[in-house]
C-alpha cells in the first residue's frame, strides 16, 4: 500500500513528536504538512529543514497549501477550543481527524481497548495522556469482573506540562473520568492529575484503583498482564512498576460514597504503572506526551488501513 499523507496541526512539543514518529516509525503514513500559528516555532523550522510543507497560518493555511487534496488524515495537537474550529473548517473536505485535545467531538479511542469498534469513524478522540495510560487497565479488569468504581491518578513532570496542558486541565479530568466509564467499563470513574515539580524530572507514574465484585483473583492479574503487553507493543516504555495488588474489601469498610447503590465490592485492585517516553523529540521523562502521540499514530495507521480495505460487493437480488 502506498503511504498516505498526513498533516499535523500544532507545531509545539506534541505536534513535533508526532511528526518525528510518522517519519521514523510509520510505513503506512508520510508527512504531508506541518501546521502552526507561530512562524518562529521549532516544529515549523524543523519541518521546513526536512522538506515538509509548512504553514504558520493555521487550518486555513493548511487548506490553502498546494497538495492539500492529497492529505487524507489530519492529526490535531492544538487545544480543545481550537479543535472545534479546525473540525468545522475541515468538514467539507472529508478528512480523517485524529484529535489529541480534550474536545471529544468524536468517539473516545484507546487503541488497545476499542479501536476496532471505531475504524469507520471520521473524527476520533484520543482522550488524554492519563486516559491512554490507565483506561486499558480498567478495561482489563472490567472484562473479567464488574467494576463499580475506578479511580486513576496520573502523576507527570511539571516540565512536561506545557501551556496547552495547563489550559485544558479541567477538561483533562472531566474527559478522563467520562472515558473511564465509557471505554473502561467502570460504573463510576474519577480522574486526578498531579503536576510534580521534582528535579530531575520524574517519569510519568499512574495509579489505578478498581473496586470490583465477585471474580477470580488470578483472572484479574492475568487480564492486566495481557493488557500491559498489548499497550507496550505501541508504547515500548509502558510497564508495571510493581506487582498488581488484589486484596479483599473488609466487611466493615464502608465504600457506599464511591460505589453508590451498586452491590458492596469484594476486591480492591491496585495497579502501579510507569510510562517512559521514546525520546523521538520529547525527553524520556515526558512519557505522558509520548503515550498520546504513540496512541495517535497507531490509531491513524489503523484507520487508514481500514479505509483502504476492499469493500464487500453488494449482493444483487436474482
In angstroms, the Cα distances linking 306 to 22, 66, 112, 300 are 18, 26, 16, 10
Residue with cell 512498576: 241
Grid cell at residue 48 = 521546513
User: Is 210 an active-site residue?
Assistant: no
Strand spans (E) along the chain = 4-9, 29-35, 54-55, 71-76, 96-99, 123-125, 147-157, 189-196, 204-212, 238-240, 245-248, 267-275
Supply φ then ψ for residue 10, to 5 degrees. Answer: 115, 105
Distance between CA atoms of residues 39 and 48, nearest Å? 11
- Give ∠ CA 128-125-195 in degrees, rounded to 5: 10
Grid cell at residue 242 = 510493581
> Which among 14, 112, 129, 286 is annotated as catalytic?
129
Is there a contact between 227 and 191 (Cβ–Cβ < 8 Å)? no
Compute the chain's Rg from CA coordinates: 20
Total Cβ atoms within 10 A of residue 207: 18
Nearest to 208 by CA among 292, 147, 299, 261: 147
b/e map 102-134, b = 16+ CB within 10 Å? bbbbbebbbbbbbbeebbebebbbbbbbbbbbb
Residues labelled catalytic? 129
Amino acid at each position: 500500500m502506498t503511504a498516505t499523507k498526513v498533516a499535523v496541526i500544532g507545531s509545539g512539543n506534541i505536534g513535533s513528536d508526532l511528526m518525528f514518529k510518522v517519519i521514523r516509525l510509520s510505513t503506512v503514513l508520510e508527512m504531508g504538512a506541518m501546521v502552526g500559528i507561530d512562524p518562529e516555532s521549532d516544529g515549523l523550522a524543523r519541518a521546513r529543514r526536512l522538506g515538509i510543507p509548512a504553514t504558520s497560518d493555521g487550518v486555513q493555511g493548511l487548506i490553502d497549501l498546494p497538495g492539500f487534496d492529497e492529505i487524507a488524515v489530519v492529526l490535531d495537537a492544538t487545544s480543545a477550543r481550537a479543535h472545534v474550529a479546525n473540525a468545522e473548517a475541515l468538514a467539507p473536505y472529508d478528512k480523517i481527524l485524529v484529535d489529541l485535545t480534550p474536545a471529544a467531538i468524536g468517539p473516545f479511542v484507546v487503541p488497545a481497548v476499542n479501536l476496532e469498534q471505531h475504524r469507520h469513524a471520521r473524527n476520533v478522540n484520543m482522550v488524554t495522556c492519563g486516559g491512554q495510560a490507565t483506561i486499558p487497565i480498567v478495561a482489563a479488569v472490567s472484562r473479567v469482573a464488574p467494576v463499580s468504581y475506578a479511580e486513576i491518578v496520573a502523576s507527570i513532570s511539571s516540565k512536561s506540562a506545557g501551556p496547552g496542558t495547563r489550559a485544558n486541565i479541567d477538561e483533562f479530568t472531566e474527559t478522563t473520568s467520562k472515558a473511564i466509564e465509557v471505554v473502561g467499563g467502570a460504573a463510576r470513574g474519577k480522574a486526578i492529575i498531579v503536576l510534580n515539580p521534582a528535579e530531575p524530572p520524574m517519569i510519568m507514574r499512574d495509579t489505578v484503583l478498581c473496586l470490583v465484585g465477585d471474580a477470580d483473583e488470578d483472572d484479574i492479574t492475568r487480564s492486566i498482564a495481557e493488557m500491559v503487553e498489548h499497550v507496550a507493543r505501541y508504547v515500548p516504555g509502558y510497564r508495571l512498576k510493581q506487582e498488581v495488588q488484589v486484596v479483599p474489601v473488609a466487611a466493615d469498610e464502608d465504600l457506599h460514597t464511591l460505589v453508590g447503590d451498586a452491590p458492596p465490592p469484594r476486591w480492591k485492585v491496585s495497579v502501579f504503572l510507569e510510562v517512559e517516553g521514546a525520546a523521538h523529540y520529547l525527553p524520556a521523562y515526558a512519557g505522558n506526551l509520548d503515550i498520546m502521540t504513540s496512541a495517535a499514530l497507531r490509531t491513524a495507521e489503523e484507520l487508514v488501513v481500514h479505509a483502504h480495505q476492499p469493500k464487500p460487493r453488494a449482493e444483487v437480488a436474482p
